[in-house]
Structure 1
Amino acid sequence: MIEAPRIVRIAEQLTAVIPFAIPRADIAKVMGPGIGELMEVVKAQGIGPTGPWFSHHHQMDPHIFDFEIGVPVSAAVKPRGRVKESRLPGGRVARAMYTGGYEGLGAAWGAFEKWLVTNGHAPARNLWECYVTDDVTELNRPVLGGE
């Protein structure tokens, strides 16, 4: 399901995003149109994307998703429509690769969270998924403390 998680140190990443605060059930409705809008803007400005698209969740709530969909970019995006500049955080991050369909992501995150607790890591409130391919998702969760 997921490869063995590991702790990595990453640099902050400049991104172009569309923010959302929506009921969990509406997530599938906004993803496709949002990615299309993002790609149109960053390609028109010649700044990307420089990597796979992602969803960055600021905190996990069972009912309301407070998150951004975005792409990494080579320069700051000039805001247009719903698209604005943002950043993925740098620092210590727990990371694992999940291979499988969307329907298995919940279980993958469950296994990942179990690994964090079992190994004594204190996760931050935010997390993100990078959609590397249609069936490979990079799971990322900043961890607090430790150096």
Structure 2
Amino acid sequence: MSEPSYQRSEPFTELTVIEVPAAPAAVVEGRDVAMDDLPALFDETFSGLFPALAEAGLEPAGPAFALYTKQPSETVDLQVGIPTSAGLTNAQPIRGGHIVIPSELPAGSMAVRSHLGGYDGLGEAWAQLLQDTVSAGHHPGLPFIEIYVTEPSPEADPASMRTDLFLSLE
């Protein structure tokens, strides 16, 4: 069996608890981002992130993600980015006034489950993961992470999309 990581070819079809190693990443941070502004943040980040990585001589090392650092309310604090082949060494400005900075997907104990379907079902999937995690006797914490295994595109069939949900455990 391979070492646990943030990437797995098969979906997590049930609550799974794993220890993951840290992984270098390049991200754009958003603070107090209104929920309605998330699509623009994602679009601006991903359209500018790949050219910034190429300019820095880095390769993407996995699918895009969002790492949430505070419990969502009307606004969220998050990092939107991509794991990289090595650590980014300096900040890179991109469109929309955003700056790509070095970061990492954190190491630690995570409760995981995959959501199969469109993004409109993520709220329900998170609620189920949280309920199952607590019912299994674990103590969820922050951050929590969405890994967009299926690359989003206008042509994508929402029914075939996969998002892996990672919930930090205390």
Band of TM-score, shorter chain: over 0.9
Aligned residues: 143
| Paired letter, 1:72 | P
Deviation of the 1:44 alpha carbon? 2.4
C-alpha RMSD of the superposition: 1.2
2:135 to 108, 114, 118: 118
Higher strand share: 1
Deviation of the 1:120 alpha carbon? 1.0
Percent sequence identity over matched residues?
A: 27
Q: Which residue in the other structure is 2:30 paired with? A: 20
Higher RCO, 1 vs 2 (CA within 8 Å, ≥6 residues apart): 1
Is 1:89 paired with 2:100? Answer: no
Would the aligned equivalents of 1:43 and 1:49 in 2 still touch at CA under 8 Å?
A: no
2:118 to 101, 106, 124: 101
Q: Which residue in the other structure is 1:143 paired with? A: 169
2:144 to 127, 131, 135: 127
The whole-number CA distance in structure 1 between the counterparts of 2:121 and 2:54 is 31
Q: Which runs of 5 or more residues in structure 1 are unaligned?
A: none
Q: Which range moved further: 2-11 or 51-60? A: 2-11
| Paired letter, 1:30 | L
Q: Which residue in the other structure is 2:59 paired with? A: 48
Q: Which runs of 5 or more residues in structure 2 are unaligned?
A: 1-11, 94-98, 153-160
| Paired letter, 2:39 | A
TM-score (norm 2): 0.80
Secondary structure in structure 1 of the residue aligned to 2:26 = strand
TM-score (norm 1): 0.92
